[in-house]
A and B are shown apart, each in its own frame.
Chain A
Amino acid sequence: MTRTSTILAILALPVGLAACDPFAHLPDNGWSWIDEPLWDAEGAIAADDGVYLALPAAGELARIRPTGATDVVDLDGASPVRLQPMPDGAGVVVFDRWPVCADPDPKIETVDDCREEDLSYSYELALVQDGAVSFADQVPSHLNRLSFSPDGTIAVAYLDYASASDIPLDGVVDLTQVAFIDLTGTQPATSVSVGFNADNVLFSRDGTRAVVLSDSQVSVIDLDSFEVTVTYPLTLDPDQSVDPSGAAITPDGRYALITIAGSADLYKLDLDVESIDILSLDATPSTLSINEDADRSVIVYNSRPQVDVLEHSYFAWDSIGLDEPCTAVLQGDGFALLYNDAATTHDVYKLPYDTEEPVEFVMGNPVAAMQLTDSHRYAVATLRPEASGYSGSLEDYQDEHWGLAVIDLVEETDVSLVLESEPVGVALVESEAGAYALVLLDGRDELLQLDLANPSVPTALPLDAPPLAIGAMPDDSFFITHDSALGLISFLDPTTGTITTAAGFGATDLQAEAVLPRRDQEN
């Protein structure tokens, strides 16, 4: 849903509004403007028990169940700021906040009662499962993203500045800290200083330590004590900034491989022997990706038509020439799929690890996104339009349209399809019955189901409204959000083709009073 002002005539609201006097806080003439969207379609998160999403206007968190029922999650007066899925769909992580009035006057009950200069916000992180808060703890307000340990018992909150619309600044903010959160509740959240701009967190395979990357240093934190055990410098010159752009840990858990923005250096940190080695690549890498089964790293470059396959014993690598540079990698069973989602090139390569001889596929248009089916039999690429020759040829026609390509990685064949409009969602589903792509097109009230074995003849399922996005549920069903001001989500069972909908949840608690929560706790 786009962030446009939503204008509602309060008198025209449906019956599902709150039972309290809806007119008590209305301005003159009975009209009120609501600038915020009623529901956050872009932030919908699927969990085992339904789809969680924020209701920004109401300041609530809602759970929408496939049955169509809607529940409001009690956050004890807090409003959700950001949602993030928990591992394996167990629930959602909610970064929330609640207003605090510094004036302890008991007559001050609502947000409107509190003077603006006395009003501030407290922040916390809550885990929501089965429609209720299972864990909550305060973390620094500027930390906006979580990484989870392999066993899911520890989360690390850090600042992902790239996705931060703003940093809540209340007094002092320490941009060098991350917070370690014990989700079992055994110990309180612990803030640890790990260096400026810590924006990437890795975990060792055995889950005993976390590796946090920040500007010019890497910190290793023991996950029992939450203490920094080792700090690796990426430079010895305090005037030099070495900015990690990507990182991965080798399958044996011993080495952390770190690429550096704007540099051809690949740092290899030995986490056991505690030493640093720098490998010199041929250019600044675009992506580094590890295949666990093959125990190989694949490195591609946006400036060179080349892929490097790195082994993890002696860290020697084979450089393999390509026709066109690639910027992204998907790992498959025994192979890597290379493609370029940044340039106007068309090539996609399947690189088997046993032969290291790339198989080239040429797409009809440049690739915007790529997915693999669960079996890794098929790759499905979303193709974006490109500048055409304007000669009226069929090739130009293809260039001017969005497309979808299906690559059979076993038969090593591919087909590029032309789409009517921009795809707003592509999801893949695979079962014994076959592999399918579920495609939503902008402005088309249908779900197109493409059999990847024969993608040229899609099956269309009607939808109640134009779709916005499609997402996967943990049980292999799907949810579809729609462009509907009051809220509309469809749930699709791909095995039966049945669709259920939940609607109108956007108006939930819309007219509830903005009472100052947790007043007794704060004062």
Chain B
Amino acid sequence: MSSRLSILALLLAGCADMAFKTDDVGEADGAYADTGAAGPGATDDGDGGGDGYGSENEDSFFALAPATTRAYVFVANPDRDTVTRVTVPTLEVITTEVGHHPIAVATTSDYTKAVTFNEGDDTVSIIDADTLAVTEVAVRDDFNSMAMSPDGRWVMCWYDQDAADDGTDDGGVQSYNEVSFVDTDNLEHTPLVVGFNPRQVQFTDDSSTAVVVSDAYIAVIDLTADELEPDRIALTDDLVDPPTAEEVLLAPDGSYAFVRQFGATDLVVVDLQLGEVGRVAVGDNPTDLDLTPDGTRAIAVARGSNELWLYDLADPFLPPEVVDMPPDEVFGSLLMSPDGTRGLLYSTATGAARYASWELFNNSITVRELVKPVASMGVSPTGETALVFHPRTNGPDVDSSSPFYDQYALTMIDMTDDFFSNPLRLPAEPIGYAHSSDGTRGYFIMDGYPALEVLHYTDLLYDEIELPSNPVHVGVLPESRLAWVSEEHDLGRMSFYDPDTGVLQTITGFELNSGIEH
């Protein structure tokens, strides 16, 4: 297995900053990317519900897996059945054995535990972050995904049909309706049947409730109950050919769940307290669904009718506020600023080299030019800087004389200075991104390019830090500006960059630690 894959399920913390994050280890959200679940059912195929464009793509790479604990970085080594803990900043390395073929690792928000999902023997390993004592709990067979509750007490494992085919099927009896909940405090396993093809799970902020979304059902699990039981709620009356849930958004207090279905003209609103399903109009072809950062409203982008539909989460069935988007533009995605005062509208499906800023106080929308179409977009934690990653494809708006023609690119936008921007031509495709929590630095890496790019959000400049080998993942330690990069190396390699000193420290060969014998 290549070292890229061997570090595939790399180190993640349940970062406390991330409200409504799925903590989906396989493809975690960043708080300041599109909030609300990335839609695992989203595809670029099809006609997107009739407006001629495919689905909007919420690129999982951009919604970067959060970093680790304040003191440790945990790296899963699937080929060695081990987890390596790197202590920061001393870079001391200790490796401990876990179950067979760990493909995901997450850390609890209190930083006291790391949890791996061991695909090879269908177990979860709970690791004490300080002592590295390991306890294993068996789960149901043949799962391939794991998510952790915000408080770190619960993990849910399931089989995600959209995940890469990794040979999890052992050829025996297989159910596609099951999930496993593991209580990492009491080391108890609870299997549940939630509905065909569970796609994702969301937890309330207080981790009291989990909501599992499958094709035709929402299963609500009260995590405070003595015994876990799923309260299954059918999303549709059509049980023969139910529409696929493309995106689910959970109210922070766990009162409602919004389900956006592919190609639908309404939203499914589930009252999680009463278990009742209702529907609200949402314009034509809703392609994105987000929460305002204060958690009081849900916003749907109706790309087909060129409208924004705003719902009051206290009572979603009240008439929504509808905001018209510019008639000559087609936007299908929304990114809210952290303070909730503005949103960025864009589309990853139309190929247009434009975006728009939406000021919520007066609903004014200003269209702005970009050098290329949008592959994905994000905003710094302070909301002062937006990042736009551009694909190599050009779209109809890019002239062949442009220096960005047929090139990957990135644009930094200063949202405090009339959206002044600095576009950068890139030598390769970006594959990972992270930013410091203070909003001053962003970091990204590119495919096959041995460098860490450091973005200075305050002045829109950048630095390039040479790496000893090609990068695989990038992240930032919680509550710090220290960036980490995992790199290709047969025996494991990771670099740590301190932007204050400009020093890059690298450790190599930590997978050898799994072979140390006593």
> Which A residues form the contact surface with B (CB < 8 A)?
229-237, 267, 270, 273-280, 314, 316
Contacts and interface: CB of A to CB of B under 8 A. Distances in A.
Nearest to A267: B509
B512 A276 contact: yes
B342 interface: no
Contacts of A316: 503, 505
A231 B94 contact: no
A280 B495 CA distance: 13
B509 A277 contact: yes
A314 B92 contact: no
B100 interface: no
Contacts of A230: 516-518
Contacts of B95: 275
Contacts of A273: 92-94
Contacts of A276: 93, 509-510, 512-513, 516
Contacts of B80: 236
A270 B512 contact: no
A229 B91 CA distance: 23
B515 A275 contact: no
B508 A280 contact: yes
Given A267-B509, A275-B510, A236 B515 contact: yes
B517 A277 contact: no
Given A236-B491, A267-B509, A280-B508, A275 B94 contact: yes
B103 to A, nearest CB: 19
A279 B468 CA distance: 10
A267 B507 CA distance: 11
B236 interface: no
Contacts of B508: 277-280
Contacts of B92: 270, 273, 275
B507 A277 contact: yes
11 contacts: A231-B518, A235-B512, A236-B80, A236-B514, A236-B515, A267-B509, A273-B92, A275-B510, A277-B510, A278-B491, A280-B468
Interface residues of B, number: 24
Given A277-B93, A277-B507, 6 more contacts: A233-B515, A236-B514, A270-B93, A275-B93, A276-B93, A278-B491
Contacts of B516: 230-233, 274-276
B511 interface: yes
B505 A231 contact: no
A278 B95 CA distance: 15
Nearest to B86: A275
Given A273-B92, A275-B94, A231 B517 contact: yes
Contacts of B512: 232-236, 276, 278
B518 A229 contact: yes
Contacts of A232: 512, 515-516
A382 B390 CA distance: 65
A263 B242 CA distance: 60
B494 to A, nearest CB: 10
Contacts of B91: 277
Nearest to A275: B93
Q: Which of A229, A270, A276, A278 has most B Cβ within 10 Å?
A: A276
Interface string B140-153: 00000000000000
A229 B93 CA distance: 19
B502 to A, nearest CB: 12
Contacts of A229: 518
A230 to B, nearest CB: 6
- List of 4 A-B pairs having minimum Cβ-Cβ separation, nearest first: A233-B515, A278-B509, A278-B508, A275-B93
Contact of B511 (A236, A267, A270): A236
Interface in B91-133: 91-95
Nearest to B92: A273
A235 B513 CA distance: 10
Nearest to B89: A314
Contacts of B518: 229-231
Interface string B372-414: 0000000000000000000000000000000000000000000
A280 B508 CA distance: 8
Interface in B204-245: none
Interface in B467-481: 468
A234 B514 CA distance: 11
Contacts of B517: 230-231, 233
B77 to A, nearest CB: 10
B513 A275 contact: yes
B86 to A, nearest CB: 10
A215 B364 CA distance: 71
Interface in B274-320: none
Contacts of B93: 270, 273, 275-277
B285 to A, nearest CB: 52
Nearest to B84: A275
A270 B95 CA distance: 13
A237 B490 CA distance: 10
B115 to A, nearest CB: 23
Nearest to A231: B517
A267 B508 CA distance: 9
A275 to B, nearest CB: 4
A55 to B, nearest CB: 47
A405 to B, nearest CB: 40
Contacts of A270: 92-93
Contacts of B506: 280
A242 to B, nearest CB: 10
Interface string B30-48: 0000000000000000000
Contacts of B503: 316
A276 B491 CA distance: 10
Interface in B68-91: 80, 91
Contacts of B491: 235-236, 278
A274 B512 CA distance: 11
A234 B510 CA distance: 11
A274 B94 CA distance: 8
B515 A314 contact: no
A275 B490 CA distance: 16
Q: Which of A229, A236, A274 has most B Cβ within 10 Å?
A: A236
A67 B514 CA distance: 61
Nearest to B95: A275
B56 to A, nearest CB: 42
Nearest to B509: A278
Contacts of A267: 509
Contacts of B510: 275-277
A374 B451 CA distance: 48
Contacts of A236: 80, 491, 511-512, 514-515
A195 to B, nearest CB: 11
A244 to B, nearest CB: 14
Nearest to B503: A316
Contacts of B490: 237
Contacts of A278: 491, 508-509, 512
A224 to B, nearest CB: 16
Nearest to B513: A275
A340 B517 CA distance: 39
A273 B468 CA distance: 25
Nearest to A276: B512
Nearest to B507: A277
B433 to A, nearest CB: 26
B97 to A, nearest CB: 14
A15 B516 CA distance: 65
A316 B510 CA distance: 18
A270 B517 CA distance: 14
Contacts of A277: 91, 93, 507-510
B87 to A, nearest CB: 9
Contacts of B514: 236
B3 to A, nearest CB: 12
A231 B490 CA distance: 20
A280 B490 CA distance: 14
A279 B509 CA distance: 9
Nearest to A270: B92
Contact of A314 (B94, B505, B511): B505
Contacts of A314: 505
